[in-house]
């Protein structure tokens, strides 16, 4: 079920507020500087980021990412499978080892749609704690949207017009409408739709997506997502002057890589890129018309993403339809960075 909330607090300061966030003097910051960690366990990926704060931001000292497909088969069974949990546990064990070796003093680990929906999500979280020591916080869609925006909003194109920031996940897609108040981005409203690249692919079936009528299957997926966004679309402002669009997900970074014709993925070339909407629409249509083998041969897609990227294109096209900005901003950052900023802000760092 889609969810929405309006008039949310400003991004800055809307983090853990158990103590005041008065800036520390520089000499004290240097001698009391923590190492922070953030884990984002999604429906498709497990990601870790370890960083230390610095004036105006932070320095990443370690990172890890692995496709675990935790939500594989969830739409049919309603539960996390043993194989999926084993894959996730293997990745989280690596994360736990990195947290220890890097002497991380403060961290937060979150799980999203797959664990929210699964009947055994809490049981899995207990197993993770017992076997790795990692305490998973199964967060609600509102918190997921807030963290994603907090992590990537600095990459918005300059301007005062309203902005739509979105995160295409494995099991859900979060849409967040952001406006400016005294130069500070604020969440105006948000929406969570139960379609991500894994859940949408499974709703249509891989046979249909690879068959001779795959374009029809693609159109059905796009329509499914459009209906899920319909109520949120009615709440968007009528004016389209100066609107901005920013996406954080594997879908947008992958398509941006295809747009740049990169021989291999390069975060430095992709993070912060702004691609004309027409170019993204053209790439989405091209990928939707390819079969699995053709998609697998594209650099930056390969066999790991070839089966799910079509669903990502369908979701992206539906978003670009309801919010037709001139350009699509691309962010290779999101929830993990949002967690780090929250933790550091709580300790008084001005980021």
In a domain, 54, yes or no: yes
Residue 53 in any domain: the answer is yes
Q: Are residues 129 and 240 in the same domain?
A: no
Mind listing the pLDDT tens digit for each residue in 256-294?
999 999 999 999 999 999 999 999 999 999 999 999 999
Give the end of a domain, one of 139, 170, 194. 139
Domain co-membership, 200 together with 117: no
Same domain, 173 and 130: no
Query: What's the pLDDT at 9?
Result: 34
Same domain, 135 and 215: no
User: Rounded to an integer, what distance in angstroms lies between the CA atom of residue 175 and that of residue 239?
Assistant: 18
- Tell me whether residue 346 is exposed, middle or buried, using C-beta atoms within 10 angstroms of its C-beta: 0 to 12, 13 to 18, 19 or more: middle
Contact criterion met (CB below 8 Å) for 211 and 163:
no
Query: 110-122, pLDDT tens digit by residue?
Result: 999 999 999 999 9
Domain count for the chain: 2
Check whether residue 111 and residue 178 sit in a common domain: no
Residues 254, 318 share a domain? yes
Closest to 281 measured CA to CA, from 250, 325, 236, 320: 320
Domain membership flag for residue 20: no
Give the end of a domain, one of 139, 166, 195.
139
| Longest CA span, the chain | 66
Asked whether residue 14 is assigned to any structural domain, the reply reads no
Q: What is the DSSP letter of 248?
A: E
Whether residue 315 lies inside any domain: the answer is yes
168 and 132 belong to one structural domain: no
Residues 159 and 291 in one domain: yes
| Beta bridge pairs of residue 187 | 178
308: left (phi over 0), alpha (psi -120 to 50) or beta: alpha
Domain that holds residue 312: 154-331
Residue 232 sits in the same domain as residue 134: no
Q: Are strands 57-67 and 45-54 parallel, antiparallel or unpaired?
A: antiparallel
CATH label of the domain that carries residue 47: 3.30.420.40
Indicate whether 241 and 311 sit together in one domain. yes
Query: Could you tell me the two tokens for 152?
Result: 């990537």
Residue 8 lies in a domain: no
* DSSP of 171-200: S-EEEEEEEEETTEEEEEEEEEES--HHHH
Same domain for 108 and 227, yes or no, is no
Q: Distance between CA 241 and CA 77 in Å, rounded?
A: 45
Alpha-carbon Rg for the chain, nearest whole angstrom, is 20
CATH code for the domain in which residue 177 is found: 3.30.420.150
Pairing of strands 45-54, 106-111: unpaired
Write the pLDDT tens digit of every residue in 122-168. 999 999 999 999 999 999 999 999 999 999 999 999 888 899 999 99
State residue 4's pLDDT score.
43
Domain boundary among 104, 139, 174: 139
Range 224-227 contact pairs with CB under 8 angstroms and sequence separation of 24 or more = 224/195, 224/200, 224/314, 225/173, 225/193, 225/195, 225/200, 225/314, 225/315, 225/318, 226/318, 226/321, 226/322
In a domain, 13, yes or no: no
pLDDT single digits (tens) 11-67: 332 333 333 344 444 434 444 578 999 999 999 999 999 999 988 789 999 999 999
Same domain membership, residue 293 and residue 256: yes
Domain assignment present for residue 11? The answer is: no
């Amino acid at each position: 079920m889609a969810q929405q909330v309006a008039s949310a607090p400003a991004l800055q300061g809307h983090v853990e507020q158990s103590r005041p966030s008065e800036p520390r003097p520089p000499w004290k910051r240097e001698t009391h500087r923590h190492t922070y960690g953030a884990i984002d366990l999604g429906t498709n990926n497990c990601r870790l980021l370890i960083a230390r704060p610095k004036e105006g931001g932070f320095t990443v000292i370690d990172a890890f990412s692995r496709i675990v497909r935790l939500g594989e088969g969830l739409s049919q069974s309603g539960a996390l499978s043993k194989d999926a949990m084993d894959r996730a546990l293997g990745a989280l064990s690596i994360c736990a080892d990195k947290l220890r070796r890097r002497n991380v003093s403060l961290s937060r680990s979150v799980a999203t749609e797959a664990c929210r929906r699964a009947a055994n999500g809490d049981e899995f979280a207990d197993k993770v704690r017992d076997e790795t020591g990692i305490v998973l916080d199964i967060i609600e869609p509102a918190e997921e949207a807030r963290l994603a925006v907090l992590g990537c909003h600095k990459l918005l194109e300059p301007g005062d017009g309203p902005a739509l920031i979105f995160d295409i996940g494995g099991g859900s897609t979060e849409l967040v409408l952001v406006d400016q108040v005294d130069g500070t981005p604020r969440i105006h409203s948000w929406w969570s739709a139960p379609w991500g690249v894994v859940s949408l692919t499974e709703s249509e079936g891989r046979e249909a997506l690879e068959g001779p009528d795959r374009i029809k299957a693609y159109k059905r997926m796009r329509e499914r997502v459009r209906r899920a966004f319909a109520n949120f679309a009615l709440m968007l402002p009528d004016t389209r002057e100066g609107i901005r669009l920013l996406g954080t997900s594997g879908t947008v970074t992958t398509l941006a890589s295809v747009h740049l014709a990169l021989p291999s993925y390069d975060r430095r070339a992709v993070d912060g890129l702004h691609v004309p909407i027409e170019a993204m629409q053209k790439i989405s249509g091209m990928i939707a018309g390819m079969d699995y083998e053709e998609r697998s041969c594209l650099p930056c897609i390969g066999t790991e993403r070839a089966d799910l990227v079509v669903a990502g294109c369908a979701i992206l096209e539906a978003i670009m339809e309801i919010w037709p900005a001139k350009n699509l901003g691309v962010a290779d950052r999101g929830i993990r960075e949002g967690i780090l900023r929250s933790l550091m802000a709580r300790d008084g760092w001005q980021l």
